[in-house]
Chains A and B, each alone.
Chain A
Amino acid sequence: MTHAKHSQAMHFQARAAEKVRNPVLQRALQKAKPLFVGKRAKGMAALGEDGLEFEGLRSACVDIRNRVLADLDVWLAIFEERAKATGAEVLWARDGDEICDLVIDVARRHGVTKATKSKSMLSEEAHLNEALAAAGIRPVETDLGEYIVQLAGEAPSHIIAPAVHKTIHEVEELFAKEHGRPIETRTSADIPAMAREAREVLRQHFLSAEMGISGANFLIAETGTAVLVTNEGNGRMVTTLPKVHVVITGIEKLVPTLEDFATLMRLLPRSATGQTISNYVSLLTGTRQPGDRDGPEKTVFILVDNGRADLLGSAYQDMLRCIRCGACMNHCPVYFSLGGHAYGWVYPGPMGSVLTPLYTGIENALDLPHASTGCNQCGTVCPVRIPLPSLMHRLREAQTERGLRPWSERLWLRAWAWIARRPALYRWFARRAARYLGWLAGDEGRIQVFGLAPGWTEGRDLPVASNRTFHELYAARKRA
């Protein structure tokens, strides 16, 4: 896997330790969480007003996504043919390096020196900005959140809210420096003014860039269309003003028909931001035709595999249904304790804990499938019913099968299980354990430092209610 080299997912534990101790980050996250959860809940509660119902819609969305995945090659061929018929070029990339090569090649063919970008997580998979810069092409992120993280020299920490980890003061510092002005005291009331300031800077880039790069929320096979679901309007600038528009997206983003897309749109914005519909929904089909007032002269689709095809027909195929709404991370207690950067690669939260090992190598992300309490909040809100906890569980089993778990962990587990199969022996150990815990806990009934599980007592006491086991007391009672 080419991108294992860019992944920091092996350092999850260390990063997590750093993130829980960062008060600025914690403030930003604690502010964001109720907004995400509350907005989605409100959006879903309002489904009834449109005569819709969550579980029924969900089933319809699952069916659409499964239908595509069952015959993905066929739908891709149809898309390619229809997209070419509208004047677009369709290119294929196996991995991130190929994405970069193709984009740079298109850029060189058209004399591009600057490219504006609307959000694209696939360009993050490819580390496209670095590659463009190295090739002498300036990438300018134009989604407000992406603009902020680009100024900070960071990666996005959330798939729909890239700068959710930043406080307003951090953003103010970045803007003051980039826009050449003194730092001011800001409150949330100043957000519109700050957005306007960014917009004015970005406008010049929109007008001068020769290339626009976007992702696509969906590709529609029957019409050869790319769909962009956005709230800021930058997507339209990026895809219509420059003479060249490059769409970079994963091969799994296909839906068969416009009708299917409309069904998925019922749940995508509601799951993501609670909106009935996003501020902008753009259906981009082909290049500028004679008589058109705007639109690119050249449209290029780069359809990317980067590990996706390997999931087809595998135990992880369900993951390919993902429509990137972010609801799983928005409802994840682990995500909101750490933010997205702790996960070490492009995708954070539960979907990231599944995708990162699958796309960068199971051996390169050992902690991620374990970084879950198993609460299944993610599985409950997922609009396409991806069983995220089950997929994480399969990855845990895959680690065991491949001998990737620490031997000490396996030894403990095997020894414990061996004893647990022998009730008399188990009782003997349990009695001794109860005595030991009772002795450690003393009169207060709690252990404050426990050498056998230091991870527990680092932040908590271990309450111990008895130095006798239930079975011991129960046997004594029966004898009495």
Chain B
Amino acid sequence: MRLALYVTCLVDLMRPSVGFASLRLLEAAGCEVIVPSGQTCCGQPAWSAGDRAPAVDLAKKAIAELEEFEQVVVPSGSCADHIRNVYPQMLADDPEWSARANKLAARTSELSEFLARQPGFTAPAAFDGTITYHDSCKGLRGLGIKHQPRELLRKVSGLSLQEMSDCEECCGFGGAFSVKFGDVSTQIVDRKCATIAEVGADAVVGGDLGCLLNIEGRLRRRGDQTTRVLHFAEVLAGGDS
């Protein structure tokens, strides 16, 4: 299968290893992976700010560069949700673009749901230790991603998954919210860090880099220098990229 990997702007800038891990996993699943060279950002920041015009421009740009692929895979629940659930709604009044948005939406998957759908796929990596999984809001409530990353992770040899309490609670990231209302956001992520500390796992794993940066940033500020904070793709692909 020939598919497009949409790495997301945050992975591009903040953590390229998530992109390379995704690439390796998709190749291991037997896919021909193209990284469309014009990709930048899905436009969610503009949409969330309530600035429709630039959000629409960036949506159309992404649709135009991704629609030729049989599948588009995104290592982020939040960006995948934006493409799959928001684009069709945003462009609903424009017959031509609405059809194109719907077509792309139907072909877009978040990475864990895509991998979980591939028969016989097993992660190539091993992981020595316990992890706890944080469910990101958009993936969980927008795309129904819950069991997929867990199923994939459970198959990693040496890895044991220990759930934290309230794993479905928001970490307080919320994009611009984390900067606009920094103190409120910190208050929320502090509770998340407390539930992580209760579990005492070697690593916190999740599927959205925004949440992971938020959680890691707060853990470190609280003085926890050892709990690793990883994207599930990094765990599944193993090693460094």
Contacts and interface: CB of A to CB of B under 8 A. Distances in A.
Contacts of B175: 374
A279 interface: no
Contact of B177 (A338, A372, A421, A453): A372
A420 B43 contact: yes
Interface residues of A, number: 66
B217 A380 contact: no
B184 to A, nearest CB: 5
A371 B181 CA distance: 7
A474 B217 CA distance: 26
A376 to B, nearest CB: 5
Contact of A393 (B50, B187, B213, B229): B50
Contact of B40 (A373, A409, A423, A466): A423
Contacts of B43: 417, 420
Chain A interface mostly? helix
B45 A459 contact: no
Contacts of B39: 423
Interface residues of B, number: 65
A456 B190 CA distance: 13
B45 A456 contact: no
A376 B217 CA distance: 23
A413 B49 contact: yes
A385 interface: no
B2 interface: no
A32 B9 CA distance: 38
A375 B218 contact: no
Contact of A375 (B19, B52, B174, B217): B174
Interface stretch (A156-164, A179-187, A266-274, A396-404): A396-404
A370 B51 CA distance: 13
B154 interface: no
A409 B217 CA distance: 24
B179 A446 contact: no
Interface string B162-193: 00000001101111111111111111111100
A453 B181 CA distance: 11
A469 B50 contact: no
A380 to B, nearest CB: 6
A460 B217 contact: yes
A393 B55 CA distance: 13
A455 B179 contact: yes
A471 B220 contact: no
Given A414-B54, A460-B217, A463-B216, A453 B179 contact: yes
Interface of B: 7, 9, 11-17, 19-20, 35, 37-41, 43, 45-52, 54-55, 57-58, 61, 137-138, 141-142, 169-170, 172-191, 213-214, 216-218, 220-221, 229
5 contacts: A405-B49, A456-B178, A466-B16, A470-B7, A473-B20
Interface of A: 13, 16-17, 20-21, 26, 30, 333-334, 337-338, 369-377, 379-380, 393, 395-400, 405, 409-410, 413-414, 416-418, 420-421, 423, 426, 430, 433-434, 437, 446, 453-466, 468-471, 473-474
10 closest cross-chain pairs (CB), A and B: A396-B50, A459-B186, A455-B182, A373-B174, A417-B54, A460-B217, A375-B170, A470-B16, A375-B137, A470-B19
